Structure formats: structure tokens, C-alpha cells
Amino acid sequence: MKFAVIVFPGSNCDHDAYHAAKHVLGQDAEFVWHKETSLQAADVVILPGGFSHGDYLRTGAIARFSPVMASVQAFAAGGGPVLGICNGFQVLLEAGLLPGAMLRNADLKFHCEHVHIRVEVVDTSFTQLCRSGQVLRIPIAHGEGNYFASPEVLRMLEEQRRVVFRYVTPGGEVAESANPNGSARNIAGICSERRNVVGLMPHPERACERVLGSADGLVLFESVVASLLDSTGLAPPGSTAAREAGELPAIRS
């Protein structure tokens, strides 16, 4: 399975995503510079976190015009799985691949901490190995993660079950105190109508090894590999199922 990690000027989590895919999950991975027009025959595309183009104008507003984004748009339109993390989520919003927009955090402060998010749906490319209602401990690092959408769009997202992650307490309860940035309805991540494009503000790639404080984010990467290999009936290389079957050594912690 091949992961393409898109690199914009100002990306600073590209190596984290590459490490998660290649060294933790054991899959092929390749960096793709934003001026490229090919995704190098990728099976999965990741738009990583960072500060693309210095976050000038608005977060992600310049990156959406990068040449590679035409290929990302076509890949997504063809059903290919795309994951936008933090700044990558912001780019997906600006590019129209996901609805809504990002505002400054409600308290106007940059937040760098672990939060808890609840998995709301398990039928996306990146959550199929999750349990509905599962609570993940994942770090955030952003100053503009306050998800905003019109009442009509928020209603549509809820009705179509496109809210994928929600900020919650450690016990899984939706509460204002658990919302680090003021996001509407405690939304931490959403998906496209076809459920193959997912964007979230927390950083699952920084929570793939227990030594980092949490390995809860690994399930998103395992899920997308599983979703692409489902038809074969085989356990995805590097997955928990494969390790438990004795096919591979355990992921290092």
C-alpha cells in the first residue's frame, strides 16, 4: 500500500505522517512536493499539518492553488482515500473537498495539548476499525481550529452522518469544557459525502506509538489500509490483526 504525503512550503508534520505510514505501519510512503502534478500512483493521500505558505491570507487559502491539488481533487473524485490533518484539514476546506471553514480559536490562544475525541461513525475510509463511540486520546496543535459552518450545513452534516469525530471528556461526554477551540457542536473532524475524504484537527500521526503518550491514532492508518484490502480477505500488512495472527512483529512502543 502506498501513501503519498503532500508537502507544502511550511508543512512541518509531513515527516510525522511519513513515519507513521512507513516505519510504524510498515507501508510504502513517498513525499510529494506541492508543485508536482502526479501522486506517484498512491493508494492513500495525506495532507499533513503545519503552516502552508505561512498561513497568509487564511489557513490553507494559498495551498489550495498548488498544482498538486488538481490531482488530489481528481483522486478524491475517483473514490481515493484522502486524510487532511490540522493544516491539511484547513486546505481541504479551502479547496471545497469538505464544507465549512476554520476560525481563530475562541480564546485566541494557540493550543498544544492532548484532547479526547469520540468516534461518531465507523463507515469512513479512516474509521472502519474503530468502535462507534470509541474515545481516542490524540494531541492537537493549532491556533485556528474553530470549525464553523452555517446552520444549514451543520444540519446536513448531522443528517448525513458526516461528523466523524467530536471533542469529548475522557468519559466520552460532549461538554463545553472538552472543546479546546470553540468548534461548532464540538466537531473535531468531518468526512465527504462519499466518506473517502476525512479531515480532522487533532494529529493521529503523533499518536501512533505509546512512547509518545498515546497510540490511539494508529487505528486511523490501519483502517484505511483495511478498507483498501477488504476485498482480498487478507489482514492488512502491519495491522493489529496481522500482528495478533503472528504474521508480523509487534509495532514498537
| Catalytic residue set | 86, 203, 205
Cα angle value 233/128/247 (rounded, 5°) = 45
Closest residue by Cα to residue 46 from 11, 9, 10: 11
Helices in 4-150 by DSSP H: which ranges?
Answer: 14-19, 68-77, 87-94
| CB atoms closer than 10 angstroms to residue 245 | 10
As a whole number of angstroms, the distance between CA 23 and CA 29 comes to 9
DSSP, res 251? P
